[in-house]
Structure 1
C-alpha cells in the first residue's frame, strides 16, 4: 500500500495562494516589529483607531469580554478540543494533528515575538503581536482550510481560487472580531492585532506544509516496511 491514509492539509490548489499570503504577512510582521521595537506608546495610526474603539460601553463591552475569553485557556482549550474531535470523528487524523500543530505554532511564535520585539502597553505588559488575535485567526484558518479543500466528509470541494478566498475571508472575520475586542478593552494597540493576524497568516501555511511532509514520509516508510515484510 503506497497511498496516503488521509488527504493533504495543504493541497496544491492552495499552495500558491497561501504561499504568497504567508510571505507578505511575514514581511508585515517583521516590518511592524522593527518599527515598534522597545516602544511603550501608541503610534499615530494606533492613537487614531484606538480613540474611536477604546473604552466601549455596554452591551458592546460584554461582547468584547466574551470574545477576549476565547483567547484565554478557559475558552481556547474547548475550541481546539472540539476542532480536533471533529477531525477524528471524520477519520482525519492528519487534520487533527494540523489543528494542534498550527494553533500551537502560531501562539508560540506570537509569544516569542513579544519577547524579541519588547513593545509594551500599560507600563510593562508585552503587547506585540497580539496572541489572542493570532490564536483565533490560526484556528479559523485551519478549520477553513480543512473544510474548503475537498468533497465529502465535511469538505466543500471548492476550487483553488474559491477555496483561497473562503479561507482568507474566514481569517479576516476571525482576526477582525478578536482584534476589535482587544483594542476595545485596551489590551492591545491596533498594530498589535494586525501583527497577530499576520503572524497566523504567515505560520499556518508553513505548518500545513510541514505536517504533510512529515506524514507523507511516515506513510512511505510504513509502505516500504510492509513490502519488505511480505518478501
Structure 2
C-alpha cells in the first residue's frame, strides 16, 4: 500500500507503539505525583548521582555543554530546521511535519508538567520535572529512527528495535549531560524520556491520520472531476 509506505508510524507497529506510549504515560504520571512539590533529590537520585555544578570535569564537560546547547532555543531551532530540510530532501513531508509537531508538543507537554508538578532543583523557581532537554532530544531521535526504518524497509521487529535503541541512546546521552551539569535529577531525565515516548508516537499517529484524510479527499475530488468530464464527453 502506497499510503502505508508513506506513513511515519508503520501500521503494523502501531499497537506496540501504543503500548509503549501507555506505559510511558503511567511512568510520567507516577513520578510526577511522587515528586510533586519536592525540592530535593529522591533516594533513587542520591543513589545514582547527586547533581552538582561540577559533576562532569573537563574535557567531558565541554561535550555536556554542547549537548545542553542543542536543547536550548537556538540549538533546538537549528536541529529542527536541519531535520525538516532532511525530510523534505528525502520527499517525506509527513516526517517533516512530525519533526515540528512532535518536538513542539513534547516540549510543550514537559513545560506544562513542570508547572503542574512543581518540582525544583537549586532553589525555588528552577522547575526540573520532567527534563525538557531530554524529552526534546529523544523526540527527534524517535522521528529520525522512524524515518530510517521506513527508508530501509525494515520489518516490524527490526524497525521497533531501531526506534527503541535510538530513543535509549538519545535519552541516556542528553540525560547524562543534564544531570552532569546539575540541571536535573536523574528521575527528571527519566520523566523527560518517557514524555517523549508518550507524546511522539501519538503525534505521529495524528499526522498520519490527518494526511490520510487530506489524501482521500483529494483523490475523491479528482475522481469526481474525471467522472463528470467523462459524462460530459459522452453527451
Per the normalisation by structure 1, the TM-score is: 0.93
Structure-2 residue corresponding to 1:76 = 76
Report how far residue 6 of structure 1 moved. Answer: 6.8
- When Rg is computed on C-alpha atoms for both structures, the one with the higher figure is 2
Q: Say whether the 8 Å CA contact 1:98–1:207 is kept in structure 2.
A: yes
Q: Say whether the 8 Å CA contact 2:51–2:182 is kept in structure 1.
A: no
CA distance in 2, matches of 1:216, 1:98: 14
Structure-2 residue corresponding to 1:26 = 25
Matched, 1:134 2:135: yes
Q: Say whether the 8 Å CA contact 1:6–1:93 is kept in structure 2.
A: no
Report how far residue 229 of structure 1 moved. Answer: 2.4
Pair 1:70–1:128, CA change in 2 (3 A): same
1:62-101: per-residue Cα shift (whole Å, max 9, x none)? Answer: 1111111110122111111111111111111111111111
Q: Say whether the 8 Å CA contact 1:13–1:159 is kept in structure 2.
A: no
5+ residue gaps, structure 1: 150-154
Structure-2 residue corresponding to 1:88 = 88
Pair 1:158–1:70, CA change in 2 (3 A): same
Q: Say whether the 8 Å CA contact 2:51–2:184 is kept in structure 1.
A: no
Report how far residue 228 of structure 1 moved. Answer: 2.4
RMSD over aligned Cα atoms: 1.7
1:108-132: per-residue Cα shift (whole Å, max 9, x none)? Answer: 1111111111111111211000000
Report how far residue 3 of structure 1 moved. Answer: 6.1
CA distance in 1, matches of 2:186, 2:212: 40
Q: Say whether the 8 Å CA contact 2:51–2:179 is kept in structure 1.
A: no
Q: Say whether the 8 Å CA contact 1:129–1:192 is kept in structure 2.
A: yes
Structure-1 residue corresponding to 2:121 = 121
Q: Say whether the 8 Å CA contact 1:133–1:196 is kept in structure 2.
A: yes
Structure-1 residue corresponding to 2:209 = 213
CA distance in 2, matches of 1:117, 1:219: 41
Please list every run of at least 4 consecutive aligned residues from structure 1 whose deviation after the TM superposition is greater than 6 angstroms.
Answer: none
CA distance in 1, matches of 2:46, 2:67: 22
Structure-2 residue corresponding to 1:185 = 181
Equivalent residues in 2 for 1:1-231, closer than 5 Å? 4=3, 7-51=6-50, 55-124=55-124, 125-149=126-150, 155-230=151-226, 231=228
CA distance in 2, matches of 1:52, 1:159: 41
The worse-fitting range, judged by mean Cα deviation, of 43-52 and 99-108 is 43-52
5+ residue gaps, structure 2: 229-235
